Amino acid sequence: MKRTYKVAGHKFAVVMPDHNLAWNEMSSCEPFVCEDADECLFTAELLDAMPDTSGKQKVTVGCEGPDMPRVELFEWNGEWLMELAPTLEAPVRAYLITDKAFSKGRFRLLGSMRFSLSTVLMLMFAFATARKNTLLMHASVTMKDGKGYVFLGKSGTGKSTHSQLWINNIGGCSLLNDDNPVIRVMDDGEVRVFGSPWSGKTPCYHNVDVPVGAIVNLHQAKKNAIRRLSLVEAYAAMYVSFSGYRFIKDMADGLHATNEKIVSTVPCYGLDCLPNAEAAWLCYKTVSQ
Partner 1 sequence: MKTKKGYRMRPLGKEYILVAEGLEVENANQMISMNATAAFLWEAVEGKDFDAETLAQLLVDEYGIDIETAKKDVTPLLQTWEKAGIIN
Residues that bind partner 1 (CB under 8 A): 59-60, 231-232, 235-236, 239-240, 246-247, 249, 252, 256, 260, 264
Q: Is the CB of 50 or the CB of 239 nearer to partner 1?
A: 239
Q: Nearer Cβ to partner 1, position 210 or 218?
A: 218
What's the min distance (Å) between Cβ of 101 and partner 1?
19
Cβ proximity to partner 1, 92 vs 252, nearer residue: 252
Q: Is the dihedral of CA 10, 92, 94, 119 positive or negative?
A: negative
Report in angstroms how near the CB of residue 175 gets to partner 1 at its nearest. 27
| CA count, 13 A, side-chain hemisphere, 274 | 7
CB nearer to partner 1: give 167 or 252. Answer: 252
> Whole-number minimum distance, CB 245 to partner 1, in Å?
9
Nearer residue to partner 1 within complex by CB, 40 or 73? 73
CB of 218 to partner 1, least distance (A): 17
Q: How far is the CB of 23 from partner 1 (least distance, A)?
A: 36
Residue among 60 and 174 whose Cβ is closer to partner 1: 60
What's the min distance (Å) between Cβ of 3 and partner 1?
Answer: 35
